[in-house]
Amino acid sequence: MSSQQRTPVGHETLPFRNIGLIGRLGSAGVVETLKRLMRFLDERGLHVIVEDRTATVLLDHGHPEASRRMLGELCDLVIVVGGDGSLLGAARTLCHSGTLVLGVNRGRLGFLTDISPDELEERVGEVLEGHYEVEKRFLLDAELFRDDTLVGSGDALNEVVLHPGKAVRMIEFELFLDGQFVYTQRSDGLIIATPTGSTAYSLSGGGPIMHPRLDVLTLVPMFPHTLSSRPIVVDAASEIRIHIGETNQTYPHISCDGQTRAVAKPDDVLVIRRKPQTVHLVHPVGHNFYEVLRSKLGWSHRLGD
């Protein structure tokens, strides 16, 4: 079974008791939605725990606080209010506990945060009553080695990117999949994207859109020197090894979900593998991936609609 399986859940599910809240900082709209959400959950007699960083923008909220990692240990469900970036950050921590994660969209596109503020009480209420689906999404682990010594690491739900940082120089590197040599490439870098990340940075780089249930990765060259370099799709269980060329005049950066995690030197080796843990995303019943694509990407509707 794919590591991104979808599981329908019905009324027989034990009710949620402890609900964690995480919100994007610096947004008045997020604060307003969080306050609405707390009132709604309080009225239902649920135990609400607020992430400690989120609590800094919720003065006198009257609920216990905990770190993001502790929310995963204490809560049955964590609700993230913000954009996809907010959910990505929460997912990287909460995957370790297997806690269910539900997103309320207060960002732009909202591929992962699929409840709008206008339907907050209705949709969250349905989830609390057991009407929801769970989708497991896998993540990536990235490790940078220098002379066989680990010098940097990170994890990602969307993508791991090798890029030149602020320098305007091409990177030369060798790519190996499961120990087999694939190619030597000169380009601005390489995007290694999960199906979840196929609608993010990879899409901007010309990568394919992949259904979330696929158990694959896509490798997308960034402005390659040769026109024959094209994105390739590989098994998600593959070990990806990138050997930074010894003659590079720049120090490539390794970013995970848009955050720089390490800076490589010539002759370093970047190793990327599928993470053992998965994140458990909650969707309202009837969630449709293709409907989301039509809505977010402006695709045409059916003839006659």
Q: Which residues are catalytic?
A: 84
CB 209 within 8 A of CB 293: yes
- The b/e string for 179-213 (b: 16+ C-beta within 10 A; e otherwise) is eeebeebbbbbbbbbbbbbbbbbbbebebeebebb
Q: What is the pairing mode between strands 100-105 and 77-82? A: parallel
Residue 77 parent element (H or E): strand 77-82
- Residue for token digits 């979808």? 6
Residue 217 backbone dihedrals phi, psi, to 5 degrees = -125, 155
Find out whether 288 and 296 touch, Cβ atoms under 8 Å.
no
Question: For residue 70, what are its two tokens?
Answer: 């502790």
CB burial class (10 A; 0-12, 13-18, 19+) of residue 162?
buried
Return d(Cα 142, Cα 161) in angstroms, integer: 10
Q: Distance between CA atoms of 205 and 203, rounded to whole angstroms? A: 5
